Amino acid sequence: MSENKKTILFLCTGNSCRSQIAEGWARALGSNFFTILSAGLETHGKNPRAIAVMDEVGIDISGQESTVVTDEMVKNADTIITVCGHADEHCPAISGDQEKIHWPLSDPAKATGTEEEITAVFRKTRDDIKQCVSEFIKNRQ
């Protein structure tokens, strides 16, 4: 089955939070059906709060890398999913046979307030991304 897997590339500005969470959910929910990658237009490292809120639901994303998108990654992706407006606007050129989807997710790294309030924003983003990933996988099986 692996030779028939389609490749999904989650693309964000810094590949530190939303795209990392999306990669984690997609690996947990759809790795039997898809090859999953994430990258950024640049790298900002991994966000410790993103790692923590995914750990709360039993998904370890700490081993994922924060990487810069390459032409090869884009070329080999069947579907490119942008998870922030900046990445959507500056997405590398894709071929006509590739699918591009945009999920307009707010950036939890910009949350302010107490630690509890910031963590609540990260949890909401995590849950929103789970919903997006679940629907994407369900519609492609």
The catalytically annotated residue of 12, 37, 53, 77 is 12
Query: Which residue ranges form the domains of the chain, and what is each CATH number?
Result: 2-138 (3.40.50.2300)
Please state the φ and ψ torsions of residue 5, each to the nearest 5 degrees.
-65, 140
Residue 94 confidence (pLDDT): 75
Q: Quick check: 33 pLDDT over 70?
A: yes
Mean pLDDT of 67-77: 92
Is residue 112 within 8 Å of residue 118, measured between CB atoms? yes
Does residue 84 have an active-site annotation?
yes
User: Looking at per-residue confidence, does 61 or 98 come out higher?
Assistant: 61
Which residue reads 């990258």 in tokens?
39
The catalytically annotated residue of 6, 28, 35, 91 is 91
Q: Cα–Cα distance between 102 and 114 in angstroms, integer? A: 30
For the chain, report the end-to-end CA distance as a whole number of angstroms: 13
Does residue 17 have an active-site annotation?
no
Residue 95 confidence (pLDDT): 72
Q: What is the pTM of this model?
A: 0.93
Q: Quick check: 1 pLDDT over 50?
A: no
40-51 pLDDT, tens per residue?
Answer: 999 888 999 999
